[in-house]
Structure 1
Amino acid sequence: MVEVNRVLIAVTLALLASSALLPVSYGAKKPLSSAPRKEDVPYIKCQVCEKLASRLHQLVKEKQLQISPKKISEYEIIEIAENVCNLKKEEADWILKIDIVENGDKLQLVEQEEEGMCNSECKTIEAACQKVIGYSDTDVAEYIYKSKPDLASLVNHLCKDLTDACTKNPPPLPKDRIPGEPFVAKPSKDAEMDKIMRSMQGMPGAPGMKVYSREDIEKYKDNPGKFGNEDEDDSDEEEDDKFPKNLGKVLKEKESSKKEEWRKTITKELKKKGDVLKRHAQKVSNRVRRWWKRVRSSSSKKPKSEKSEL
């Protein structure tokens, strides 16, 4: 827990510092709308389904390579399928690189090289993705696990068999449709930090750990003393105080002959969780340090005239 707190402090300080280095004009910009345009979903759901299937196929292959020679489990594939349409998760990074463009009487999804600022178009793609996969995440995961399909077969199964995303052509686009926002590339430093934050979101061994977005950091930039929820530390201590009591209650409910077995099992699991958490915390901490080093290096190289303008 101490290691996690150190990582969170490092991330918080890095974000606060990077926010302070931003030009005043950046902070003065009107925030982009982030509400999804649900009326656009019917026009893009087939394309979203195809890209979703492609991303699923890629993520499963990457996971298999990562854990090789161990075989990927159905549960791990289900977890990927559950996260691939959730922008708070790493698996949904693909959504941030897509722009919605009007092409005649149709909407076209155009993939960009860089991540963009998440505005209403980004949220619309997320909404379409969630609508497509719906309750089919476990079904498509089972299909991938058992059939090991190629990409074309997976697209056909997900978009035509499990769902109706591509069973018919999308309707023509209304002529009075208001165009969406232009694609705005996210600064590379912001994109890298957001990626770190998303990776921390699913860190095992730290349930309930709160991860702050850039918007949260901006809100507390002028008053860092109020950053976060002070009650969280107290609640953590209360949880720790209750843990031995709850553990004792569980042990008392078991037969006396099984008490020692339960103690060994719980101790083993706690040690395992602690080791996993320590490795993840160290990994994230190293990434944060490297990122912060680059931020300081690039800032020190800026000419004085440029700094005065900021």
Structure 2
Amino acid sequence: MEHFRIVIIGGGPIGIACGLEAKKKGLSYVIIEKGPIVNSLFNYPINMQFFSSSEKLEIDNIPFISKEAKPKRNEALEYYRRIVTSNELNIHLFERVQSVEKSDEVFRVVSNKATYTSDNVIVATGFYDLPNLLNIPGEHLPKVSHYYNDPHFYASQKLAVIGASNSAIDAALECWRKGSEVTLIIRGYEVGQRVKYWVRPDIINRIEEGSIKAYYNATVKEIRKTEIVIDTPDGEVILENDFVLALTGYMPNFEFLQNLGIALSDDEKRLPQYNPETMETNIPGLYLAGVICGGMETHKWFIENSRIHAPMIIDAIKNKAAITAKS
């Protein structure tokens, strides 16, 4: 059974940043990632372009050079992969953490492949794993997906896209341009204000010209094998339908956080408890890093503003060890 000063759960950009920082400070560590390197980014749409510019996605001051100011998914994969390989980070891929328990100031981390002990644990797992479900009849039909990858798949098909954020709008535009008959179903009265500023006018123009049909203040009531039923201000609408992309957002794995003993707020935000100066949770030695810190406020933390978590956490661990050594 291997022992580390730090076990980092999650091999996304912030988990990688934590590994880099630990290595620089001479602390033994391991990054455990359930999929490939930066698994969440790998599962982004194939043509996805970031809202942030490349320099804001950099970690550890390592330059991120992209063709355009705002890089695309494949460039980000290349960037983070090269960081991992060139720095020879200790990362275990395709390994899923199953439990974390603390006893006598030592954490016991059990995965599907091994068991580790550590003095500290950093959770940097993001929130892209669990979709916000519609909880309606037909949601689990094979034609329904909560993730979008390649527009080619939907060419010449009647496609309903549920949502009004960046993922939904990008999918609607891309699929329409590949020949899909796209219908947008938006719960609010307009396209989301957070949609990328160079994309929002595009979708509004496509809707106004009639290329993409949009239903506002609408919700999906039922999904059937060849139809979709929508509640609108003008009454129920039934549309012929081949595929549904329910891109209604994602959430952290709150059950995993609670099983770790991390306290969550009682309101709908479900904010995890942590010290904003050290990122340490209510469990001593257990830290949070990255977008998972925002609970259901998934627009609060991004790569660009959570990069600071890595040095904050590693410095806190070093300082705590120094204080303990003096006492």
Q: TM-score, normalised by structure 2?
A: 0.22
1 or 2, which has the higher helix percentage?
1
The structure showing larger relative contact order (alpha-carbon pairs under 8 Å, at least 6 residues apart) is: 1
User: Is the radius of gyration larger for structure 1 or structure 2?
Assistant: 1
1 or 2, which has the higher strand percentage?
2
Q: TM-score, normalised by structure 1?
A: 0.23
